[in-house]
Amino acid sequence: MPKLYIIRHAQVEIKPEMPPPQWRLSAEGKKSVQPLVSAYGISDISCVYHSPEIKAAQTAAIIGKALSVPVRVDDDLRELEMNSGYLSQESFTDIVGRFLEGENIDFFEDYGRAQERIIRSIEGITRAEKGRSVAVVSHGRIIIALLSYLLGRRLGREEWRSMKFPEISVIDLEKGVVEKGYMAKNKLAVSIY
Tell which residue, 193, 51, 98, 19, has the closest CA to residue 59: 51
pLDDT exceeds 60 at position 100: yes
Beta strand 133-138 pairing with 45-50: parallel
Mean pLDDT of all residues belonging to the chain = 94
Cα diameter, the chain: 45
- How sure is the predictor about 113, in pLDDT bands with cuts at 50, 70 and 90? very high
Backbone angles phi, psi at 50, to 5 degrees: -150, 160
* Predicted TM-score of the model (pTM): 0.95
Q: How far apart are CA 193 and CA 170, in angstroms?
A: 17
